[in-house]
Amino acid sequence: MPELPEVEVVRRGLERWVDGRTVGEVEVLHPRAVRRHPAGGADFAARLTGHRLGTARRRGKYLWIPLADSGFSVLGHLGMSGQLLVQPENAPDEKHLRIRVRFDDALGTELRFVDQRTFGGLSLHDNTPDGLPDVIAHIARDPLDPEFDDAAFQAALRLRRTTVKRALLDQSLISGVGNIYADEALWRARLHYERPTASLTRPRSAELLGHVRDVMNAALAAGGTSFDSLYVNVNGESGYFDRSLDAYGREDEPCRRCGTPMRRRPWMNRSSYFCPRCQRPPRAAAPVGVRA
DNA sequence: CCTGGGACCTGACCGC
DNA sequence: TGCGGTCAGGTCCCAG
């Protein structure tokens, strides 16, 4: 479930609570939680034990902790329902506790990976020369990365033969955007989710990118978006940006700009929320790829 | 190559 | 009360 702002909130929690600590013992309680670690749970636990954790980093929705004394990292993805929690050692196990990391110190807390739907997980990977776990080399920089290349993104967008929301969710083009913030940015930009990317002018795509950044920064300032206790920071607390959403989840409620009831449309096994007046569907165009 | 559709999971909720 | 259908914030893999 979590998108970039929620993952960043978690990263900051890790930076504060586990930075510099040495791993004492690792328990893998569900094999799916380490399915991206091909050598399996026992290998994951053995290779992680004894290492000192460095400062947590993030690209898009991926998080990783470089090991301070080695050339590899613990990579994490929260999937749809994953949580990384720093809990007192004596706190009862969560129902969906999948991995426990104890530390070799006297602070009395441990790191827990909890995940109801098991789409997320942890794994160990060698770092590339630029300090990125090798398996996420294909993930694009995210829009809050100072080195994100706006011009390259806009150019790539125009070359795609797809629709704008699909492009926003394509993590190899721009990372960190998920279903909520895609709908929010499109609403702010007054763009329908099915607008062909090739029809976006440079000013339009620049404006859209600006809205993506604005909505993510605003969500970050509110501690992220959360509708229930499924998404929380490392201390188990929810963010409150859900109160500021303009599009996502607002079916039949009035558009905050024009008052027209918002609509929900099934879209790629999920939903798209939009204002039918502010975000007009694209006119049926000539089939893409047809030449005169 | 690129694009779109389905698979992978558990649980909550709704109507019958 | 139970049952079946739908929905949920993501990513990967494969067919075309």
Please report, for chain A, the start and end positions of each structural domain, with discontinuous segments joined by +.
4-136, 150-274
Residue A243 per-residue DSSP state:
G
pLDDT at residue A290 greater than cutoff 60: no
**Residue A103 has which token pair?**
């530390």
pLDDT at residue A288 greater than cutoff 50: no
Task: Note the pLDDT tens digit of each residue in A92-149.
Answer: 999 999 999 999 999 999 999 999 999 999 999 999 999 999 999 999 999 999 999 9
Which protein residues have a C-beta closer than 7 A to any atom of strand C? A 1-3, 6, 60-62, 77, 79-80, 117, 119, 135, 169, 171, 178-180, 224-228, 230-231, 266, 269-271
E strand residue ranges, chain A: 23-28, 57-59, 62-66, 72-77, 82-88, 97-103, 109-115, 121-126, 263-267, 270-274
Which nucleotide is nearest to A159 if distance is taken from CA to C1'?
A: B2
A9 and A239 in contact (C-beta within 8 Å)? yes
For residue A206, give the H/E element and its range: helix A202-221
Å separating the CA of residue A189 from the C1' of nucleotide C2: 46
Task: Note the pLDDT tens digit of each residue in A47-75.
Answer: 999 999 999 999 999 999 999 989 999 99
Domain formed by A4-136, architecture: Alpha-Beta Barrel (3.20)
Task: Note the pLDDT tens digit of each residue in A31-49.
Answer: 999 999 999 999 999 999 9
- How many contiguous H segments (helices) and E segments (strands) does chain A have? 6, 10
CATH code, residues A150-274: 1.10.8.50
Q: Give residues with Cβ within 8 angstroms of A229, minimum separation 6.
A: A236, A238
